Amino acid sequence: MLAESLALTAALFIIGVVGVLVHRNAIIIFMCVELMLTAVNLTFVAFSRYYGAAGQVFVVFVMTVSAAEAAVGLAIIIGIFRHRQTVDLKDINLLRG
Amino acid sequence: MLLQTAASVAGHTSVLSGTIAEWMWLLPVLPLVGFVINGLLSLNSAHFGPRDPNTPGHHPHSEGAAEAPAISHAEEAGAAGDDHHAVKRHRWAGVTSIVGPGVLILSFVLAAMIWWQMVQAHPAAPFIQRYFSWMPVGDLQIDAAFQLDQLSMVMILVITGVGALIHIFSIGYMRDDPGYPRFFAYLNLFVFFMLVLVMGANYPVVFVGWEGVGLCSYLLIGFWFNDKANADAGKKAFVVNRIGDVGFLIAMFMLFANIGALDFVTVNARAIELGAGSALVTTICLFFFLGCTGKSAQIPLYIWLPDAMAGPTPVSALIHAATMVTAGVYLIARSAALFSLSPIASLTVAVVGAVTAIFAATIGLKQWDIKKVLAYSTISQLGYMFVGVGVGAYVSGMFHLVTHAFFKALLFLGSGSVIHAMHAAYHHTGSHEDAQDMRNMGGLKRYLPVTCALMWIATLAISGIPPFAGFFSKDEVLGSVFARAQGSTLASASWLGIPGNALLYAIYAIGLAAAFITAVYMTRMMLYTFHGPVRTGVEEEKHLHEAPLSMTGPLAILGILTVLGGWLNLPEVLTDLVPIGPSESLAKWLDPVVGSATRQVAGTATHVTASTEEMLIGAAVIIAVAGIVLAFARLKPETLTPKREAVPEHGFERIVAEKYYVDEGVEKGIVRPVYAVSRGFLWRLIDNGLIDGFFVNGSAALARGFGWVGSRIQTGNVGIYAWVFIAGVLAMLGAFTLR
């Protein structure tokens, strides 16, 4: 049962990673990051079945933090959009050396 | 006091412990206190030094604009002469006049008390006081320690005694100088270091004093540093002395490497382990002697001493005649145990001394600057001292050192009195003539009778006329050279292929010749300065005057010492003839220190027969009288023209007057090549090319290159960062998995 659960979460995580890597739209990348967080949350839940409730407590923590992070991240994206009329990461390279 | 408690721990074996000699640390400390007080006064003052004529109103140490016109007038008048009289005295001059000479007088009184204690106690071993461990490094154990024995006592008495007289003289001579406290601060500091030099119980402590007196010499030569020539003279003395100091250092290193100790007691006891006559002990001695040639102005490092006359005249008397320049003679006498083991090094010392004696004497014949005559005379007389210590007659060298301190200090201070009078005269009329040139003097005996009489005494002494001090000491030096030509270790040695006894006879002959020339040039100096018509100028003549009592007083005391100095060490042949005093007192006094070394060198040549000795004395006196008579017969002060009308000499006379072009030779042969190498190779190639070009700029370029590469990675594109990030995570995971 655990193996299947882990396979599912790994698949979800990889989808998130690949999404982050291949997409250029900041919103989509942001969603992929959320997907990765969700995959990790699922892993915690799966393990908590065998190792006690600590995993489920962590999931609550992670969701709290990710909610805050989502708010901040979206605010930044909106800020960028207001300035540059785009959320395409190709055009956002202010930190170029 | 802390020092006192530390001191009482050591020296428990000597007969001097528990006596007044326990206070010997106070001897150098007193002048040091004087230095601190005078130094603070000079800092506290408005006048730091002679004012810069180029910036009359904006001098940083100027007290105010009100006095500026007066000072600039003084500068104008004083520029040509020896001393720069500013009109306004230093405001603390009164305190300095008490403190400066006072500490020296106290030191001398203490030294005399300790000397009296030593006379009664007859210590056979040096009395050593350890204060603290200075350099404890592995096997190298060097203590800050002073030692008191008969040799250092002689030096201490000369330094504090003659030093005190010269300090008193300076009150009159320097009183009107704005740098008065600074002058006394340097002078006190000099005496401190000089006492450290002669009291040090090991070579490194002596070296501290050795360097310290060099520093003070530099400071005092360049005392009127606004004149570039004076500053350059100080620099020259400093640089030339450093060459000799390297020799001193190397000798110390070699001594430590081979004996393992540097204190005199151990070195003297174990010197024989180096091997009598071995190349090692010869090398050590020659390196020590290199140091001595620098400090004591012998060939080839004598060139700084004539230039050192740029300093105030009391400085010339104290440092460049009576004390510091004799440090080399003291060092050789102190290292007698080493030098007596090496006939070759000893003969080298004697040969260099003899050659210097005659070389400098001939230059003295044609000098016009009264102080330059005395400077070359000093070099020449130092040569005699080195002949004395070189042939292993350490007592005769020290004897000549002491008598020379008396009569040469007298001569220098006398010349100071003359220059003082000349300068004041030119100052009154605002003339720019040279106050030190003998062609501008003449006939001064009418105006300076005391100075004239006393300087004649000193002249007769240096010429070797009995019964003045110089006669006895010079005669003893020459006599011991003659005596050692038969039967001594030196006579049987060979020096550069020349048999030792032939060499010693040659040195004796050179010494006699130099004595003849000495008599000539000294009489010449006296004739041109004090006799014949006055060439100073009609208007100036009215202002010539004898020096104040503070200057003539020390002169008179030195005059008495010059007359009586010979009684320190009367030859036996004379006391047998006429019982005028105890014979060989100095020899007996110094016997615990240098006696065994003297006997080691002398071998069987302890004494020549009385008739031979009488003949030698007769020859020396005849030579000296002949020199004086010749000078009187040939020199006509009446026909001499003042400096501004003088015609230059021709031929050989010109070569001598130009000091054999040695300075020019050094300039062309050493200074310019050194400059050229420094500029072309060291500066342009090494410094600019290698250091700046390759190392400094090269490392900067390297860093910039790395920075450029790093900046290319920073594209600012988040996608690429993410790729790199993932790649890194995967690589780490992979590394952990595969481990």
Q: Name B498's bridge partners.
A: B495
In b/e form, how buried is each residue of B541-563, taking b as 16+ CB within 10 angstroms?
bebbebbeebbbbbbebbbebbb
Position B10 confidence tier, pLDDT thresholds 50, 70, 90: very low
Nearest-by-CA chain A residue for B714: A97
Q: List own/partner pairs for B712-720 with CB under 8 A and 24 or more apart.
A: B712/A97, B713/A97, B714/A95, B714/A96, B714/A97, B715/A93, B715/A96, B715/A97, B716/A92, B716/A93, B716/A94, B716/A95, B716/A96, B716/A97, B717/A89, B717/A90, B717/A93, B717/A96, B718/A89, B718/A92, B719/A21, B719/A24, B719/A89, B719/A90
Position B84 confidence tier, pLDDT thresholds 50, 70, 90: very low
Give me the CATH number covering residue A18: 1.10.287.3510
Residue B66 in this model has a pLDDT that exceeds 70: no
| Contact in structure between B473 and B566 (CB atoms under 8 Å) | yes
Hey, of B708, B718, B720, which one would you mutate to test binding to chain A, going by the most A CBs within 10 A of its CB? B718
pLDDT of residue B309: 92
Distance in Å, alpha carbon of B731 to nearest chain A alpha carbon: 15
Helix (H) or strand (E) holding B301: none
Helix (H) or strand (E) holding B650: none
B711, B716, B726 member nearest A94 (Cβ): B716
B715, B719, B726 member nearest A96 (Cβ): B715
B711, B713, B723 member nearest A21 (Cβ): B723
| Contact in structure between B465 and B625 (CB atoms under 8 Å) | yes
A21, A24, A95 member nearest B714 (Cβ): A95
Contact B719 A94 (CB under 8 A): no
Q: Tell me the CA distances in angstroms from B217 to B8, B209, B211, B231, B233, one per residue in order.
A: 34, 12, 10, 12, 10
Instruction: For B706-728, write each residue's pLDDT tens digit.
Output: 999 988 888 888 888 889 999 99
- Sequence-distant (6+) residues with CB within 8 A of A57 are none
pLDDT of residue B13: 63
**Residues found in chain A:** 97
What secondary structure does DSSP assign to B243-262, as a single string? HHHHHHHHHHHHHHHHHS--
- Asked whether the whole model's pTM tops 0.90, one would answer no
Taking CB atoms and an 8 Å cutoff, what residues of chain A touch B718?
A: 89, 92
Rg (CA), chain B: 30
Nearest-by-CA chain A residue for B719: A21
Q: CB of B715 within 8 Å of any CB in chain A?
A: yes
- Sequence-distant (6+) residues with CB within 8 A of B93 are B175, B180, B181
Q: Average pLDDT, stretch B457-479?
A: 92
Contact B717 A96 (CB under 8 A): yes
Maximum pairwise Cα distance, chain A: 49
Which DSSP symbol is given to B273? G
Q: Average pLDDT, stretch B396-406?
A: 94
| Contact in structure between B421 and B544 (CB atoms under 8 Å) | yes
A17, A20, A93 member nearest B717 (Cβ): A93
Q: Which residue has the tokens 């605010």?
A: A75
Taking CB atoms and an 8 Å cutoff, what residues of chain B touch A77?
A: none
Contact A97 B723 (CB under 8 A): no
Taking CB atoms and an 8 Å cutoff, what residues of chain B touch A17?
A: 726
d(CA B418, CA B529): 9
| Contact in structure between B419 and B373 (CB atoms under 8 Å) | no
Q: Exposure of B538 by Cβ count < 10 A (0-12 exposed, 13-18 middle, 19+ buried)? A: exposed
Contact B718 A94 (CB under 8 A): no
**Which of B380-389, B409-418, B645-654 shows the lowest mean pLDDT across its residues?**
B645-654
Q: Which residue range forms the structural domain that includes residue A36?
A: 2-91
Taking CB atoms and an 8 Å cutoff, what residues of chain B touch A96?
A: 714-717
* pLDDT > 90: percent of chain B: 56
Instruction: For B17-64, write each residue's pLDDT tens digit.
Output: 888 889 999 999 999 999 999 999 988 755 444 554 444 433 334 333
pLDDT of residue B7: 43
**Which of B328-337, B404-413, B503-512, B639-648 shows the lowest mean pLDDT across its residues?**
B639-648
> Which tokens in the block code for residue B486?
């038969």
Contact A21 B716 (CB under 8 A): no
Nearest-by-CA chain A residue for B725: A21
* Whole-complex ipTM: 0.88
Contact A21 B719 (CB under 8 A): yes
Hey, of B717, B720, B723, B725, which one would you mutate to test binding to chain A, going by the most A CBs within 10 A of its CB? B717
Residue B411 in this model has a pLDDT that exceeds 60: yes
Maximum pairwise Cα distance, chain B: 117
Q: Which residue has the tokens 């010492």?
A: B561
Residue B72 in this model has a pLDDT that exceeds 60: no
| Contact in structure between B252 and B262 (CB atoms under 8 Å) | yes
Residue, of B583 and B266, whose pLDDT is higher? B266
Residue B73 in this model has a pLDDT that exceeds 50: no
pLDDT of residue B45: 58
Q: Exposure of B278 by Cβ count < 10 A (0-12 exposed, 13-18 middle, 19+ buried)? A: middle
| Contact in structure between B252 and B202 (CB atoms under 8 Å) | no
| Contact in structure between B346 and B370 (CB atoms under 8 Å) | no
Taking CB atoms and an 8 Å cutoff, what residues of chain A touch B717?
A: 89-90, 93, 96
Q: What's chain A's average pLDDT?
A: 91
d(CA B229, CA B610): 53
Nearest-by-CA chain A residue for B707: A97
Distance in Å, alpha carbon of B704 to nearest chain A alpha carbon: 14
Question: Cα-flanking dihedrals φ and ψ of residue B520, to 5°?
Answer: -65, -55
Contact A93 B715 (CB under 8 A): yes
Closest residue by Cα to residue B345 from B388, B295, B385, B391: B391
pLDDT of residue B110: 95
Contact A97 B716 (CB under 8 A): yes
Nearest-by-CA chain B residue for A94: B716
- Sequence-distant (6+) residues with CB within 8 A of B100 are B34, B38, B167, B170, B171, B181, B184, B187, B188
Residue, of A42 and B92, whose pLDDT is higher? A42
pLDDT of residue B606: 63
Q: Average pLDDT, stretch B432-438?
A: 87
pLDDT of residue B77: 38
Quote the number of domains for chain A. Answer: 1
Count of A-B CB contacts under 8 Å: 31
Position A77 confidence tier, pLDDT thresholds 50, 70, 90: very high
Q: Name B136's bridge partners.
A: B141
Which DSSP symbol is given to B325? G
Distance in Å, alpha carbon of A18 to nearest chain B alpha carbon: 10
B715, B716, B726 member nearest A21 (Cβ): B726
Distance in Å, alpha carbon of A17 to nearest chain B alpha carbon: 8
* pLDDT > 70: percent of chain B: 92
Taking CB atoms and an 8 Å cutoff, what residues of chain A touch B715?
A: 93, 96-97
Taking CB atoms and an 8 Å cutoff, what residues of chain B touch A97?
A: 710-716
| Contact in structure between B393 and B488 (CB atoms under 8 Å) | no
Closest residue by Cα to residue B511 from B622, B683, B354, B642: B354
Give SS3 for B194: helix
A17, A24, A97 member nearest B714 (Cβ): A97
Q: What's chain B's average pLDDT?
A: 87
Pairing of strands B127-137, B498-499: unpaired
d(CA A21, CA B736): 24
Distance in Å, alpha carbon of B705 to nearest chain A alpha carbon: 14
Hey, of A89, A90, A94, which one would you mutate to test binding to chain B, going by the most B CBs within 10 A of its CB? A89
Question: Cα-flanking dihedrals φ and ψ of residue B165, to 5°?
Answer: -60, -40
Instruction: For B375-395, write each residue's pLDDT tens digit.
Output: 999 999 999 999 999 998 999
Interface of A with B (CB under 8 A): 17, 20-21, 24, 89-90, 92-97
Instruction: For B181-202, write each residue's pLDDT tens digit.
Output: 999 999 999 999 999 999 999 9
pLDDT of residue B6: 43
**Which of B81-90, B194-203, B211-220, B419-428 shows the lowest mean pLDDT across its residues?**
B81-90
pLDDT of residue B50: 52
Nearest-by-CA chain A residue for B729: A17
Residue B83 in this model has a pLDDT that exceeds 70: no
The answer to whether position A97 is within a domain reads: no
> Which tokens in the block code for residue B21?
């000699």
User: Where in chain B are the domains?
Assistant: 134-142+224-665, 670-738
Residue B76 in this model has a pLDDT that exceeds 70: no
d(CA B291, CA B285): 10
Nearest-by-CA chain B residue for A22: B719
Residue B180 in this model has a pLDDT that exceeds 80: yes
Q: CB of B710 within 8 Å of any CB in chain A?
A: yes
Q: List own/partner pairs for B264-270 with CB under 8 A and 24 or more apart.
A: B264/B126, B264/B147, B264/B201, B264/B202, B264/B203, B264/B334, B265/B125, B265/B126, B265/B128, B265/B147, B265/B201, B267/B203, B267/B335, B267/B337, B267/B338, B268/B337
Position B561 confidence tier, pLDDT thresholds 50, 70, 90: very high
